[in-house]
Structure 1
Amino acid sequence: MKEVILLTGPPLNGRDEYITEALKLAEGGSHVYYHVFDYIREVGKELGVKITRKNVLDFAISHQDLMNEIRDEAFNRIRNEIDESDKKYHLVSTPSLFRWGSGSVLGFTTSNLKLLRPNRVVVVLDDVLSVRRRIINDPEWFERFGKDPENIKLTTLVMWREDAINHVKTLVHELKKEGLEVRYVLQFGIRHPHEVFLNLIFRENEKPLIYLSYPMTGHEEEYYHRVRDFYDKLNEHFTVLDPGALDDWWVVAEYDNQVAKDPSIRRIKIKHLLDGEEVEELDREDIEQATDILRRQLVERDFNLVDVSKAIAVYHYAEEVSAGVISEMAEAYRTLAAIYLYYPFERRPSPFMEFYGMQNPSRRTMFKDKDEMIRAMVEEKDYWAKA
């Protein structure tokens, strides 16, 4: 049976670069990858219109009807190729929605999705400082911002994300009203290893989706090494969704630290998360405005990952109860996902954590040994993965 997977998201989040690199590792040749912009260029050329990466936004805003016609024909051609294909997986990549200046550009409409009939939608996301850096390093986009980093506001970038996700949610809701069921919409951070993406796309039956929940802030470096080791062990058996694969929280945390030290500070210095060296100075007011949106997006994103997962594995290597972890466990309980809790301390946790942490199929226990917990998850996988 053919499966169509829509890969989308806000612009400049590294979607196509990440997917292209991941697919180089794919085995078996059971997939086809459709980049919608390639089809738009092809259709435009046939109509005597030269559409390039540089002019596409201006063209789409100033020639909306013609752009809609070109985009619709691009989706028609992709649908025809899918129908004629003998492959199982059909990956279709295009931005969701993009606001620029006084206008907006839709990556797809309800009618496009009714034609495409996606089984799953994956919204591919990157953290806002990486998006900002990507703009600075892209001559065409940097020119759009006047070649001035000060013009690239974090508030703008978080609103790009907000618009893109909301557009997807709205259109998927419309599809459901038409009787076309999308299995899930998943917000996927590109800091996940490529192998996790391949498991998500191609091996979901063998490696069901699980969510890794853990206290994320205020710990020593050794703690995060422990979390990473646990994540790698889980990944041998499951497709593990990690909230740390989209990490904007460190921007908020650094802002809080510097303001606490100097309440009058106007410029916030932030080391980039990935290289730990390059320092960016950001306007305090911009971070404050972006933070309000980021905090809400963080909660919504984590709940989204819990909601699509069949189980959550809680790695609570901390005696103090994390409000975020408890909330994720409560959400998993609400969605009837299996919950496995690793809590290796003699001191009992809160009764709420204990209650949620014992909602696994057979053992009804918290685990003091993380390897024992993984063995239990594997042994009981057939039970909860089919729930």
Structure 2
Amino acid sequence: MKKLSFIFISLALSFLVTAQTPIDEQQLQQEAARIHRAVLTVDTHCDTPMRLSRGDWDIGVYHDPKDHRSGKIDLPRMQQGGLDAEFFAVFIGQRELTAEGYQRARELTEEIFTAIHGMCDQYHDMIELATMPEDAYWLKKAGKLACFIGIENGYPIGEDLSYIEKYYNMGARYITLCHTRNNQICDSSTDPDGPVHHGLSDFGKQVVREMNRLGMIVDVSHISDEAFYDVLTKSEAPVIASHSNSRAICDNPRNLSDDMIIKLAENGGVLQMCLFSGYVLPSTANPEREAAFADLWAKYGDWSAIKSDSIRAIVREEYYQIQEKFPEKKATVKDLVDHIDHVVNLVGVEYVGIGTDFDGGGGLADCNDVSEMGNITLELVRRGYSEDDIRKIWGGNFMRVFQRVIKISKKFGN
């Protein structure tokens, strides 16, 4: 009960208004806080495990969100922001498509899984590993947070389908098929060298079928348009875009076009809105910032190629210094909800959700970390969304997909 009281008090404080605030605004904020407490809130993507696996950062303690070094998520701030369930991503950067590359990726994958499981063991009174939709609901009732796991980039599968089941048994419930570069499964939406497979590879088609068999959700964020349409053709189950937005509002290849959103809805899937500012609004030119980051990566190379922990620590510090010296002008929650409005007007409220990409670049001017998640609910209430609508957006739609994927897997004899 102490933990529940802490959550309720923190939520109330996050919506605190001054004496000068008009009474209707006070009532609106109070109603938003009530709804935010009542509904199941699910974030389908964060990259916080990259911090967990470092070993020098404690997710169980509160970190000052004003400090760039604090990250976007820790367990006390999840409670403060009223976020009930989080998909912690096992992210693996893309390297060579060789036996050696796959082996190294698998080693890193297991290290990150171990870190996530260790978090749940260490802070069992606050968070538990969740593997089924119903887990999130009973954990919320018990006053605990739900830790789901997704894999960002199917690269560690290599060319061996058995690794999909292995990672499923370790707790993963979705796989983002690729990341920023093409891999053995499919083409990426952002590979500078262009497509290799022109969609899914033959192996990628087998991956989709195996995921359907296991009851594992296929995630189409990051994949190319051709790969997206291939997935919808091959998948017998609904799919998700775990952290993408509307291309009609922000023209970026990481976002989905209107036709893609329509096809996703026809598939029964869901588009989870991403808080990465550059996917919400076109980035404002910031030449000094861009030049500083270009120099940083020219100096150290690709992050995933840096093996030394001491060098990584140096790069992180220089990265934070650039952020502080050349701050980014970020999109707002209003801008994000414009994307939600667009999807709702296009296909309906049943096909949209939230996937922040916190600790992977996600963060808005007024929802810059998990403690500010209630601001999304507040803006939805301001725009006239009902409690039932908000319940769907915050988790109901995703859970519908999750349940359907599991049901379809039963036809494979599971």
**TM-score calculated relative to the size of structure 1:** 0.31
Higher relative contact order, chain-length normalized (CA < 8 Å, sep 6+) = 2
> TM-score with structure 2 length normalisation?
0.29
In terms of Rg, which structure is larger? 1
More strand by share: 1
